[in-house]
Amino acid sequence: MDIKSLSSRPPLPGLKPRTSSGSMGPPSGLILKSSESVHRTDDPDSCTPADRLKFAHPEVLSVQKSLEMENATVFDRFEKWLIDNGAKFPGLYFKMYGPDQRGVHCKQDIDRNRRIMYVPLKCLITDQMARQTKTGQLLISIEKRLSAPNHNQIIVFMLEDMMKKDSFFKPYYDILPKDVTNFPVFWTDKEVGYLKGSTLSGEIQQRREKIRNDYNIIGGLIPGFFDNFTFEKFLWCRTIVGSRNFTITIDGSKRTSMVPQADMLNHYRPRETSWTFENDIRCFTITSLKPLKRGQQVMDSYGKKCNSKFLLHYGFAVELNREANGVCLNKIALKAKLRDEDPALREKLFLSPRQKKVNVSMSHQSKETREALGFMRIVVATPDECRVMGKNHVGVVSVRNEVAAIKAVAVMCENRLKGYPTTWEEDKKRLQTLKPFTNERNALVVIAGEKEICHMWIRVAREIAEITDKSSSPTERTKRVTSTYSGRDDDVARFVLSLNRSLILRGC
């Protein structure tokens, strides 16, 4: 089947977005020919948001050509390996933005619903392939003890296969980034210090310990593993696999897979491409979901995630982590608990645990916020409200209870803000001076996002309390809310309007 007939096929059913467990990470990428790396004056990225503009930052452009020339040989070899084994990407070329930052761009305009990349099954590394090896068979016996069985199968396969000079996958291994210190598990104490005040620093330590535990378990099973592979080497490979793998369906079975070249697309929302494994042609394919312009960077979505997750698992933070409708995807983790002196403590312990870690976002409708408010309604409930709620109660209890629950979250946010060494305003000014792709900038993007959430909840608590205090009925409250917030497109307005709708639906 020729490229033309494939690329013009209508979209197939089952095109899948990246899953949280199988999302690909920051691009390993390649850039091949210096003639394709000129800075095009018609590049449409020049008028796009910061998360695209960072790839055209003056600091990036100043080193781009030299980096491409320096890496041309190894990437040319990788391109030849792909093409020789049946991969096709006729409308694409590749750029470098830093030693380990690469991306994919369009050679010409590309229509919507066109297949733009094909990677044959023989070029994929799957957990099934790993399990068929002698070592993979050994690992099956301990998989239940490992934090990520499929990932670890691929990690061990790659580590052992990299030792073979004649490995089929050597051209792919050679273009994988050697330096992954943009991932927080590799950060120095000073760099982790950039996250002071955030719970992310603790998550970094927990992740490193979890990976260390996997390393110890595997090394205790496989003879010579500790001698051949240091923990730092294992951690490097775990980072590569964890951030770049795809979850695909091959012949009806879900497989964790490394897909050379497909793991080059950078993250952007709303997503502009989609991918799947097409069993009829035995290829992993990427399809355009919208028209793409000549020179434009081809990007894909790694999913709807908080910036702390992006940084922890993918080594970057999104400058403006919002959906097309303006809803922010960031979250902040807070610890909430019942008060020991609460006269209704016994009733509340029947309804919920004594304490709980809650995640809140700036969206009243997000799952995390709904769950957080569900717990906080119990925390602030009166004895009468506890009796009304019952063990399986969901949603609003009363106006009083809802306002108190929101205020309780706001108080937790105020306390969280006290733990940061800088203010949100100071962070925003500092961000204007930091270069793209640096660890300090990524950390500050995360921290500033957490503070933005805190400030929003504090403002919402103040404004909704004022509105309800001055409203004698649901009709009066709704008039005030409508006159104040309708037509506005900001986080506070969206939150208050959604909250009022919830109150009305509950008859409050």
| Tokens representing residue 366 in the block | 């997000």
Structure confidence by residue, pLDDT tens digits, 404-443:
999 999 999 999 999 999 999 999 999 999 988 899 999 9
**To which residue do tokens 């998360």 refer?**
51
**To which residue do tokens 């850039």 refer?**
31
Query: The whole model's pTM is what?
Result: 0.86
* CA angle at 298 for the pair 449 and 362, rounded to the nearest 5°: 20
In whole angstroms, how far apart are CA 282 and each of 124, 173, 367, 385? 11, 22, 37, 59
DSSP structure string for 78-126: HHHHHHHTT-B-TTEEEEEEETTEEEEEESS-B-TT-EEEEEEGGG-EE
What is the Cα Rg of the chain in Å? 25
Of the candidates 55, 73, 76, 75, the one whose C-alpha atom is nearest the C-alpha of residue 64 is 55
**To which residue do tokens 């990437």 refer?**
75
**To which residue do tokens 């409930």 refer?**
381
DSSP structure string for 382-448: -HHHHHHH-TT--S---HHHHHHHHHHHHHHHHHHHHTSSS-HHHHHHHHTTSPTT-HHHHHHHHHH
The reported pLDDT for the residue numbered 29 is 33
The reported pLDDT for the residue numbered 477 is 95
Where does residue 221 rank: exposed (0-12), middle (13-18), buried (19+ CB within 10 A)?
middle
Of the candidates 117, 119, 116, 107, the one whose C-alpha atom is nearest the C-alpha of residue 82 is 119
CA distance 431 to 439: 12
Residue 38 CB neighbours (<10 A): 10
| Tokens representing residue 102 in the block | 């690469």
Please name every residue paired with 360 in a beta bridge, in sequence order, or none if there are none.
332
The reported pLDDT for the residue numbered 43 is 42
Do you find a cis peptide bond into 270, omega within 30 degrees of 0? yes
Cβ contacts of 334-341, under 8 Å, gap ≥ 24:
334/358, 334/359, 334/360, 334/372, 334/409, 334/412, 334/413, 334/416, 335/412, 336/372, 336/375, 336/376, 336/379, 336/408, 336/412, 337/379, 338/378, 338/379, 339/379
Phi first, then psi: give them for residue 449, nearest 5 degrees.
-65, -40
3-class SS string, 16-67: ECCCCCCCCCCCCCCCCCHHHCCCCCCCHHHHCCHHHHHHHCHHHHHHHHHH
* CA angle at 160 for the pair 159 and 162, rounded to the nearest 5°: 65
SS3 for 272? coil
pLDDT in tens, the chain (508 residues): 333 333 333 333 333 334 433 333 333 333 333 222 223 333 434 344 667 888 888 888 888 888 888 888 888 999 999 999 999 998 898 888 888 788 889 999 999 999 999 999 999 999 999 999 999 999 999 999 999 999 999 999 999 999 999 999 999 999 999 999 999 999 999 999 999 999 999 999 999 999 999 999 999 999 999 999 999 999 999 999 999 999 999 999 999 999 999 998 999 988 899 999 999 999 999 999 999 999 999 988 999 999 999 999 999 999 899 998 899 999 999 999 999 999 999 989 988 899 999 999 999 999 999 999 999 999 999 999 988 887 667 789 999 999 999 999 999 999 999 999 999 999 999 999 998 889 999 999 999 999 999 999 999 999 999 999 998 899 999 999 999 999 998 999 999 999 999 999 988 9
Question: 266-289 burial string, b = 16+ CB within 10 Å, else e?
Answer: bbbbebbbbbbbbeebebbbbbbb
SS3 for 250? strand
Give the max Cα distance, the chain: 79
The reported pLDDT for the residue numbered 486 is 92
What's the distance, Cα to Cα, between the start and end of the chain in Å? 63
CA distance 496 to 403: 11
The reported pLDDT for the residue numbered 201 is 95
CA distance 10 to 121: 21
Q: Write down all domains in the chain, each with its CATH number in brackets.
A: 3-314 (3.90.1410.10), 332-505 (3.90.1420.10)
